[in-house]
Amino acid sequence: MPACLLLLLYLSHGLIPPIGSPLVPAILFLNFRHVFVLTMRKTKVLLIGAGGQLGSELTQGLWNLYGIDNVIASDIKDPQGVLAEGRFEKFDVMQRDKLFEILKKNEITQVYHLAALLSATGEKDPRWAWKLNMESLLFVLEAAHELKLHKVYWPSSIAAFGPTTPKQETPQDTIMDPTTVYGITKLAGELWCEYYFRRYGVDVRSLRYPGLIGWKTPPGGGTTDYAVDIYFKALKEKKYECFLAADTYLPMMYMDDAVKATLDLMEAPAEKVKVRTSYNISSMSFCPAQIASTIKKHIPDFEITYKPDFRQAIADSWPKSIDDAPARKDWGWKHQFGLEEMTADILKNLAAEQK
């Protein structure tokens, strides 16, 4: 059989010729040519789920990196606040054809796919949470493969861990037995990301976020969102009723560090990205009593009460602290904010915004 036909036969079945085969140099040439063509395309970014807590701030980070004209934010809702200042596409990510249309029309090279139902919200409608979280990811991965996108970013979560996962300094590779549909979709999604990387060469990257805390958008239905809501209530009402017990430790991260970690990972050379499921990432761990104590240093008459609800069981199944040594070693991750620094920054910004 002629070498060209044999090469096509291998490639059409997604196979790689064995080491030593005379076809290997041809494949290396084709891969080099493909990479060269891709790198000549100007970076154009589509961020799906931009209306969420992380999405709006990550959009601004991408504006700073690539320019406002080269980033398209999208969501199923109309743009709010700062998102209205840039390019925006209102669409439902479950519309596969519309997704492909937007990608082609705008010559998109990178996709950040953040749209999902979170842990507490997902438990109210598990089947829809599975459908939305998983099908939308597969649509994006299919598009990345078929349209030869440069990179894809998809977030995982500590929700992918479970009750038998080691709770302290949870390692990168460990037992993963999630108890929520959100966590199940994150674990399954990690494996799909790795599959598309190994099977099709899609450069998909991911972080296992801890609880994310910011002040620019209200909480969005996650179990760790008490650590967002508490600051709003502290300034406005001087009190907060927490849905978790006082000593419930969870790994957390300030939004500024989350955006930094995401962009650092996506800008890292491909050879430095050793983990193709999802990287552990963390910066601090604390409990509601500790965050309340730091708030009282700024608002002395602040009071907190505790009334655990169904989210307590979710929190109890998650790690208390995270070992993110691989991220720090592979691509140089470093956090900037601890609990004290974060509290001071959030209260300062919220107070200024309310004036």
Q: Give the model confidence (pLDDT) of 116-151 as tens digits.
A: 988 888 899 999 999 999 999 999 999 999 999 999
Residue 141 lies in a domain: no
Does residue 221 register a pLDDT over 60?
yes
- 158, pLDDT greater than 60: yes
Reply yes or no on whether 195 is catalytic: no
How many domains does the chain contain in total?
A: 1
* Domain membership flag for residue 153: no
In this prediction, residues 101-111 reach a mean pLDDT of 98
47 DSSP β-pair partners: 73, 112
Q: Are 154 and 115 in contact (CB under 8 A)?
A: no
Residues 342-350, mean pLDDT to the nearest whole number: 95
Residue ranges making up the domain that contains 18: 3-36
Does 27 reside within a domain? Answer: yes
Residue pointed to by tokens 């598990």: 126
Of the residues 66, 112, 153, 182, only one is catalytic, namely: 182
pTM of the predicted protein model: 0.84
**pLDDT bucket at 30, cuts 50 / 70 / 90:** very low
Backbone Cα Rg of the chain:
22
**Residue 70 included in any domain:** no
Query: Would the pLDDT of 278 be above 80?
Result: yes
Q: What is the arithmetic mean of pLDDT over 265-275?
A: 98
Residue 200 domain-assigned (yes or no): no
pLDDT the model gives residue 18: 55
79 within some domain: no
Q: Is residue 20 a part of any domain in this protein?
A: yes
Q: Are 335 and 177 spatial neighbours (Cβ–Cβ below 8 Å)?
A: no
In a domain, 15, yes or no: yes
